[in-house]
Structure 1
Amino acid sequence: MAEEWWDKSGNMKTLHEINILRLDWILRLLTDIKNKSILDIGCGGGILSESLAALGAEVTGIDLADNLIKIANSHSSKNFIDVNYRNISAEELSRTEKNSYDVIVCMEMLEHVPEPASIIKSCSSLVKDGGSVFFSTINRNLKSFIFSIIGAEYILKLLPVGTHKYELFIKPSELVNQARMFNLELMAY
């Protein structure tokens, strides 16, 4: 599975391709991440975590999937990239590490959890005052249904069928309202 996760032309090709866009977005808003403490929530196999660490950030990647944390640890060790990977939820981490991170990234993860507000609340607790939180998720609209589910899962077979559930997609207005509810100030969307 580790080989699949890090095969840039395999099943995770799309994640590798959008990783470039993720980094560009983060760097446009922050300009410099060197020595910043960054938390990657839902880090998966570590694609974004490793990219951030390679730019000089002090990265912690968390995920509930133990097998993905093992893949991430294995890959970062082989490539001599220092990332602290942990098998822990954002909610659990927020109980012990309040105001600990300069930057939090939560990319393409909220649409996979039943209670995204719980993650957003945890981000608000984990980020330092004056820090930044980045969310990226799939909009709940017809276009996303067609492209992300019908196209990507059924027609092009880029993702396993059932990867996404339309009812868990999040409208931008919902994300904005939840972020504001937990005192996160909006910079851009």
Structure 2
Amino acid sequence: MTETVVNADPAELAKFSDLAHRWWDTESEFRPLHQINPVRLDWIQSHAPLKGKRVLDVGCGGGILADAMARKGAQVLGIDLAAKALKVAQLHALEAATPDVQYREISVESLAQEQPGSFDVVTCMEMLEHVPDPSSVVRACSSLVKPGGWVFFSTINRNAKSFMFAIVGAEYMLNLLPRGTHEYLKFIRPSELASHCRASGLELVHTRGMEYNPLTRRYWLSDNTGVNYLIATRKP
């Protein structure tokens, strides 16, 4: 029997598992995820209204986005390989009585073999920069979405500006994120992600940057993709 190679970095999984109990503390290390969630949720909704849709959230962590999409009327499955974070997500769903959200510990590649073409919308947010082979994740997301369905990605650009803002600024100066959250060499240029998408049969529809003001603690979308950015794609 051939052993399945899991596209995950054990150190990355351990990093997020150790912080799992703090996922839903809005003033914890996960504060930025809580702050960007309304922005990315509105952006997803502007392309693909979620009510009544079957949605997959890849790399769901503690369920911040998955829970919000379920509250918009979607039937949501969140998947991750960090077991502790998934338990936190499941517990929060029970405590908050969130409708139509489930969580599974499974890789996106394995789910793609199990349930190809099963979802109207697939989201993969702030996850690609944490895996050894992001192109494999993109291929699996493309396999999982139905024809005509949407796949949304967000990640971090790789350049001098992103190093200064996402690592030096966010992790060392502003303490928005724990030190070591990101590795610069794992950042992905928009052209690279676009290439992965096209190679996987996804059509690029829209790209937006996400900016942050540390004084107002406000995030917003713009045309500046220099650091954080989002890509909306569609399966023909």
TM-score by length of 1: 0.97
Alignment equivalent of 2:144, drawn from 126, 131, 140 = 126
Where in structure 2 are the equivalents of 1:13-162 lying within 5 Å? 13-30=31-48, 32-82=49-99, 83-162=101-180
Residue matched to 1:179: 197
Contiguous gaps of at least 5 residues in structure 2: 1-18, 208-236
The structure whose residues are more often helix, as a share, is: 1
Deviation string for 1:106-135 (max 9, x for gaps)? 001001111000000001110001100000
CA RMSD, aligned part only?
A: 1.0
Q: Does 1:167 align with 2:192?
A: no
Runs of 4+ off more than 6 Å? none
Q: Could you tell me how far apart the structure 1 residues matched to 2:200 and 2:35 are? A: 31
Q: CA deviation at 1:91?
A: 0.5
Q: Could you tell me how far apart the structure 1 residues matched to 2:199 and 2:21 are? A: 41
The structure whose residues are more often strand, as a share, is: 2
Q: Could you tell me how far apart the structure 2 residues matched to 1:107 and 1:91 are? A: 16
Q: Which amino acid aligns with 2:68?
A: S
Percent identical residues: 54
Q: Across the two proteins, how many residue pairs are aligned to each other?
A: 188
Q: Could you tell me how far apart the structure 1 residues matched to 2:132 and 2:146 are? A: 26
Deviation string for 1:154-182 (max 9, x for gaps)? 12222121110001000000000110001
Q: Could you tell me how far apart the structure 2 residues matched to 1:79 and 1:5 are? A: 14
Q: CA deviation at 1:9?
A: 2.1
Contiguous gaps of at least 5 residues in structure 1: none
Q: Could you tell me how far apart the structure 2 residues matched to 1:80 and 1:40 are? A: 19
